[in-house]
A and B are shown apart, each in its own frame.
Chain A
């Protein structure tokens, strides 16, 4: 049996770091904050690895099936009988896998930041935020209760907000962090309502119980919930779809992806941790966590998941080919890769061989975390050296940054799906799953993987080759960055190169039974060839400084322009928010309140005042007027009493 205390310590250690550094960091640990944070996380990582070892090799497997353990269900908030938020820990293959990924990448980023963020004024604040993020992410991963997941979901959202806005005096960073928070918040609204729908139907918030109750089609729960329909879809379909909206927002799926490229305003290690490796895959994790519900009860929603994933993948890949900001290219590439994971889930089915998409998705999540974190950290090293994000300011850096160069190349090969690097294996499995279930998605995926190779190597060549004499002043350029920055690069480089050899299907599958991955050599020819073609194209266009790329862009004309402007999706959002929400809803609401509602109140006041003004005139002080009123009154009353009210 797993040890609850050990596992609970994994998220609590970063939390301790957050509290310690957040409350006292600026005064007590101004210099040592980084080391404290890193040490705590190192401990957490060791515990996570230990847990993984224990789970996968000691107690996890019973009768050849990996079990699901739920520990430590502390009632946090009870709503009504049977429905309460219980803080618990769920231990199953994917949560353990995520534990390892999150702690490991976070540790790498902690170490890397020791060098990257050195001399920063709010150094300890930075580490406390990192601690908060890691805590929330681990909490999310371990959540056994759907509302617990939502709580930590919001927690990662806010730590992402804080870290994007870390350079708070930069207006673009402020705008980016607001955008990120609001867009994901919008998606969270869907998640929240989805939780309400599903939990009401199932009568529980516990994920295990919820899945169990919602996946047996004969049960009364499912029958009543299906009978209740709204706008032509059953309650469960709505619930699952709304939950997926939450996941799509956090995972930057089209059309809720607009925050991710802007989020690159944050410090680069943060981008590596949050916006590449861990937080953005939370949506994938969410769908995976509730996968039985999606696949058994609402297959229609799962299909939507697949298509959204595929669409996001290719859209992001096309946009990534045109961007010149190194971090934005990586951001779109992240979105594209998450699209892969999503549609892998989308094409998967529950159980056995048909569930290979699920395994592939998780596998890709794992490898992607390695090579994408590596890419970002490498980019960070480049930016650290050049002090610019734009690839036009770079070129020929392979001589100045040898270690970065090699590791970046490994990561590029991995993401491009060139064997034997990590990306090859996971991507191959995804393509295989798509091929078996949905040919249209397969073709999209195939094209996307070609594009991926192209834009990644465009980036690679533009940074490390191209211009031999870079434009930046060589005098200011120092060394490659310290040991702190290079160590994570090397470690992640090893991971990116070798992670593919892990027999992932052995450990992670939808029903816990081992799944043997069948990499088919014949099948691999097409994607690998496409990848190589992409690399060749990038080599031809970008290895040397030339105007081929400009000519190509010109020949593509409108399409290039549209892709360069990210298909104007930002502009559409801006139109909706500024023109419709602000000018058509908020402004009239404010006006209505000040003028109509408040006007009515003031009108009551002024009308009473006017009435009293009128009555005041009657009280004129003129005796004769009084006498006339009096006389008239007497006569009228007398006449009334005599003739009418006899």
Chain B
């Protein structure tokens, strides 16, 4: 399996979009492109499993290595392990759904789809890069389109939100860059992830570099005090923008926190693990409580994202294999779930022209399909067994409980308490929007989902259910990769 395809296909799609003549062509080309990416991602999954089944125990599979700039030892080095495969799969699902829900974008359609595909390209590239330089390059590629997507196609205070988001993410990138350069100069002038992972970086230097990398990526994944771009960014972004932002972009950060910060700097991770745990436990519960008071559906989901992503960071902070697997499961699960949530909110908003919970009611009667999906995603969010959220949260809890002391126990219990608070705000949202009497007479004329929206929802629901009902395949994909990271942490 040639991994260059994963980058090449979005590039081709983007070019084709640029060259196409009218809106219909743009849409269909994007759809075909994202469908092909989805197919490719699934093919990658099977190819990967096949290799593993054939006892190929290399850490990274399908590696490719090209010299990019020999003088500074910058290489184009790509390869995948289980984590990357899962993330690529997640990205392709979200991209597909995002393209489908944006079907009715009328304003500057070509540019919109171009940016969407560019963002996807950045994400794919990021997840398969094994060289910190190109990893950073792809990370930046995925930031710029967000700014434009929000600034041009957004709603509400879009300029403010776009600026805030771009500035905070850029700030995070700056920290990441400092961290990467720190690594480069302390570990023998190399950007290569695999060779860096074999060098021993002195502990005191790790303690200095680790916060840069972790906070830098943490900004992307809404680490507690750096999360405020999330509510504003999401509330202003167009539907597909929110989906990409929460479904993919926040995962870039989580992936980076794990793969770059924690994996390369195990001593640093150990040093700051307790702080990470405290911050993420706060984020989980506090985000959940803050969600309870929100009145706008997008704000509800944005804050609940802060809370949910806290589980990923908690899992990373716990530094056990199970907890890290849980963190990864949570990333995948949350990516699908939150993308679906935003898609549904977008569908509701397109029809009712409001996102205020108090103004809706009884949508079940008017649009049963959308409401059912809303139900499913809500239940997934509150961790119902059979849907993906449960699998992830339980794995994090089980992993966290393995660390046998009172501090970690209490952090785990605090995190677990969020399942009640989550239930409260999700049910409030569902109860006021989907259930109850129809408050606005005009709503009775509204139509249910169109074909593209149905397919977008079905794709994501399929992902959620596939993980929720049979988590084994994903777990088996992620666990060995998490084990590799744990081996480095425990110094094996």
Contacts and interface: CB of A to CB of B under 8 A. Distances in A.
B260 interface: no
Given A155-B385, A582-B292, A590-B290, A147 B394 contact: yes
A78 interface: yes
A151 B364 contact: no
A597 B289 contact: no
Interface in B393-417: 394-395, 397-399, 401-402, 404, 406, 409, 412-413, 416-417
6 contacts: A178-B431, A188-B419, A193-B413, A196-B412, A197-B401, A582-B293
Contacts of B232: 598
B398 A192 contact: no
B406 A230 contact: yes
- Of A80, A165, A587, the most chain B CB neighbours within 10 A belong to A80
Contacts of B167: 605
A406 to B, nearest CB: 39
Contacts, number: 133
Contacts of B286: 589, 593
A230 B399 CA distance: 20
Contacts of B475: 77-78
Interface in B462-492: 470-472, 475, 479
A185 B420 contact: yes
Interface of A: 26, 75-80, 83, 147, 150-152, 154-155, 158, 165, 168-171, 174-175, 177-178, 181-182, 185-186, 188-189, 192-193, 196-197, 199-200, 230, 582, 585-587, 589-590, 592-593, 597-598, 600-601, 605
Interface in B214-249: 225, 227-229, 231-232
B438 interface: yes
A154 B286 CA distance: 24
B384 A585 contact: no
B436 A186 contact: no
A439 to B, nearest CB: 38
A335 B33 CA distance: 59
A104 B413 CA distance: 39
B233 to A, nearest CB: 12
B228 A597 contact: yes
B384 A77 contact: no
Nearest to B417: A189
Contacts of A597: 225, 227-228
Nearest to B471: A77
B152 interface: no
B322 A169 contact: no
Given A155-B385, A230-B406, A175 B431 contact: yes
- Of A77, A196, A600, the most chain B CB neighbours within 10 A belong to A77
B364 A168 contact: yes
B86 to A, nearest CB: 15
B399 to A, nearest CB: 7
Question: Which 4 pairs, one residue from A and one from B, show the smallest C-beta to C-beta distance?
Answer: A590-B293, A151-B385, A168-B435, A589-B289
B407 to A, nearest CB: 12
Contacts of B227: 597
Contact of A185 (B385, B419, B431): B419
B270 interface: no
A582 B425 CA distance: 11
A169 B472 contact: no
Given A185-B419, A185-B420, A590-B289, A79 B431 contact: no
A23 B397 CA distance: 33
Interface in B338-376: 362, 364-365, 368
Given A165-B435, A590-B293, A155 B386 contact: yes
Given A77-B471, A77-B472, A590-B294, A154 B435 contact: no
Contacts of B294: 590
- Of A189, A197, A199, A200, the most chain B CB neighbours within 10 A belong to A189
A192 B406 contact: no
A57 B409 CA distance: 47
A589 B288 CA distance: 9
Nearest to B326: A79
Nearest to B479: A78
Contact of B391 (A77, A582, A589): A77
Secondary structure class of chain A's binding surface, majority of residues: helix
Nearest to A155: B385
Nearest to A591: B293
Given A155-B385, A181-B427, A589-B286, A193 B402 contact: no
Interface in B408-454: 409, 412-413, 416-417, 419-420, 423-424, 427-428, 431, 434-438
Contact of B228 (A79, A192, A593): A593
A158 B379 contact: yes
B164 interface: yes
A193 B417 CA distance: 10
A574 to B, nearest CB: 14
B168 interface: yes
B424 A182 contact: yes
A586 B475 CA distance: 35
A353 B231 CA distance: 63
Contacts of B228: 593, 597-598, 601
A178 B406 contact: no
B206 interface: no
Contact of A151 (B229, B386, B397): B386
B34 interface: no
A196 B391 contact: no
B173 interface: no
Contacts of B419: 185, 188-189, 192
B92 interface: no
B362 A168 contact: yes
Contact of B290 (A76, A196, A589): A589
Given A77-B471, A79-B398, A200-B401, A601 B293 contact: no
A192 B395 contact: no
Contacts of B293: 582, 586-587, 589-590
Given A79-B398, A189-B416, A192-B416, A182 B423 contact: yes
A138 to B, nearest CB: 15
Contacts of B437: 169-171
Contacts of B231: 593, 598
Given A169-B438, A601-B168, A154 B391 contact: no
Nearest to B405: A228
Contacts of A600: 225
Contact of A79 (B303, B322, B382, B417): B322
- Of A188, A585, A587, the most chain B CB neighbours within 10 A belong to A585
A87 B384 CA distance: 17
Given A77-B472, A605-B167, A83 B289 contact: no
Given A80-B402, A200-B401, A593-B290, 10 more contacts: A77-B471, A80-B321, A169-B362, A181-B427, A185-B420, A189-B419, A590-B289, A597-B227, A600-B225, A601-B164
B390 interface: yes
A279 to B, nearest CB: 15
Contacts of B290: 586, 589-590, 592-593
Interface string B119-146: 0000000000000000000000000000
Contacts of A186: 420
B397 A171 contact: no
- Of B399, B428, B435, B437, the most chain A CB neighbours within 10 A belong to B435
Given A78-B475, A174-B431, A185 B289 contact: no
B390 A75 contact: no
A79 B395 contact: yes
Contacts of A586: 289-290, 292-293
Given A147-B394, A158-B379, A174-B436, A185 B401 contact: no
Contacts of B384: 154-155, 158
B417 A76 contact: no
Contacts of B225: 597, 600
